[in-house]
């Protein structure tokens, strides 16, 4: 069975989330560099990524569908509990937070981000959530370092790297061990 994979091709994984770059091809075995890791796949487990199609989709305007998506009041929910799809996420990128004054220093911006992280943890505790993801992004590492310092001081919290597949290296997942301080 022939396949079209060549070294340097970008591929998407068929049965899981992720993508990577082909680094070797041996028959039906295809080795893929995904982030910092190499993984071995069978050719039928991969989909060739057409960069031109990806580029066109990224540039195309998003069109609103004509579908009415209002909930149907006649269909009861299976449970009286609200559905929780995953941990609460708080994006700490400055453009996602309420703006500071225009002349804010780097230190003031960092304090602003840390304040919003603290508030998000307090809110998660108030709601009874067990986890929250703090998205810090990939920068110099200063915000991540300061978040870790802050989290270490609270014995009611434990933290670790959030899902690499979902957030790359740019997020911490915080487990709330005690619901209140």
For 88-176, CATH gives 3.30.1370.110
Tell me what the mean pLDDT of segment 47-63 comes to: 65
pLDDT tens sequence across 105-138: 889 999 999 999 999 999 999 888 899 999 998 8
What is the rounded (10 degree) CA torsion for 168, 130, 153, 105?
50
Angle, CA 13 vertex, CA 8 and CA 15 arms, to 5°: 165
Q: Which residue has the tokens 């911006």?
A: 109
Question: What is the percent of the chain with per-residue pLDDT over 70, rounded to a whole number?
Answer: 76
Q: What is the 8-class DSSP label of residue 62?
A: P
How far out from the chain centre does Cα 156 lie?
24
Q: Is 88 left (phi over 0), alpha (psi -120 to 50) or beta?
A: beta
Considering the entire predicted model, what is its pTM? Answer: 0.52
């Amino acid at each position: 069975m022939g396949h079209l994979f060549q070294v340097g091709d970008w591929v998407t994984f068929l049965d899981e989330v992720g993508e990577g770059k082909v680094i070797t091809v041996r028959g039906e075995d295809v080795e893929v560099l995904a982030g910092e890791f190499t993984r071995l796949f069978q050719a039928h487990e991969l989909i060739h990524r057409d960069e031109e199609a990806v580029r066109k989709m990224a540039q195309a305007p998003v069109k609103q569908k004509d579908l009415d998506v209002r909930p149907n009041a006649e269909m009861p929910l299976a449970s009286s509990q609200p559905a929780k799809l995953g941990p609460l996420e708080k994006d700490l990128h400055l453009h996602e937070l309420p703006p500071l004054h225009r002349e804010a220093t780097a230190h003031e911006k960092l304090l602003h981000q840390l304040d919003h992280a603290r508030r998000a943890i307090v809110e998660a505790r108030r709601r009874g959530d067990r986890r929250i993801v703090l998205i810090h992004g990939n920068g110099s590492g200063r915000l991540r370092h300061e978040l870790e310092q802050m989290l270490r001081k609270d014995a009611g919290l434990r933290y670790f790297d959030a899902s690499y597949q979902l957030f790359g290296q740019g997020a911490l997942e915080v487990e709330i061990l005690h619901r209140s301080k």
